[in-house]
Structure 1
């Protein structure tokens, strides 16, 4: 019987796969949380960060743009958190604490930086909304990234150092 050669670990593919996973989980959570709002409106809101109010007047192209931007944001957060995982693991040790830190950081960046800049308004935020948002990002973003990165670290798949 012929053994397969071990696959070369590819951090970029890990990040893309995890980004698609976290983007899907977060998107589904947004749709469920806002079930009274048509899904097209949710993704047009995301597209409006780039296209302004014209996004809400657009059709399917704006929905697609919103979905693309949503996944791009998820992949960017995944990239940063995945690559920072070994550092946080050394400092904090606990994968669930790291996941909570990731979810909280993502919420803070999106709600206190990205949305105010792109929507040109500071959102009114209530304690319940903050806690729900952080909980969603903990479950949909922080946990998957931290758990997968932790497994990759333990399995030696976390190969981010350049080869010499």
Structure 2
């Protein structure tokens, strides 16, 4: 009887590992901008004519919650929709909150405005122009599922209009 327990335990461990690896995860692009490197990325965005998509997600997701899978899907949808004209930035929510309370930490005013109006369900997405002065769009988790493509199309349209006005 003791001999049978070992293979069963191994099988259970293997199954648990495969289930854990099958959990949904955020698929960040290779060129994602970390918060600390935002200033350097500003030059790159202006050279390439791109905007910024700030995506705010919790540092730890509760994988057992069904809503988390929807939030992760919404995050991946936002990344797919925005990566053609934006650099993706892993947002630091606390830095933006601190800036909104008066701390001088270099957070763009447009980002503070966008985040305050984005909503209250993860992910929070704020789209800015390459100079980080103009808010192009904002949305959050539930809205991404319902009408995210509309918000992202409008942001892309505003981005193109800004690019044209700079060229003239």
Hey, which of these two has a bigger chunk of helix by percent?
1
Q: Fold match, TM over 0.5? A: no
Hey, which of these two has a bigger chunk of strand by percent?
2
TM-score when scaled to structure 1? 0.29
Give the number of the structure with larger relative contact order, counting CA–CA contacts within 8 Å between residues 6 or more apart.
Answer: 1
TM-score when scaled to structure 2? 0.28
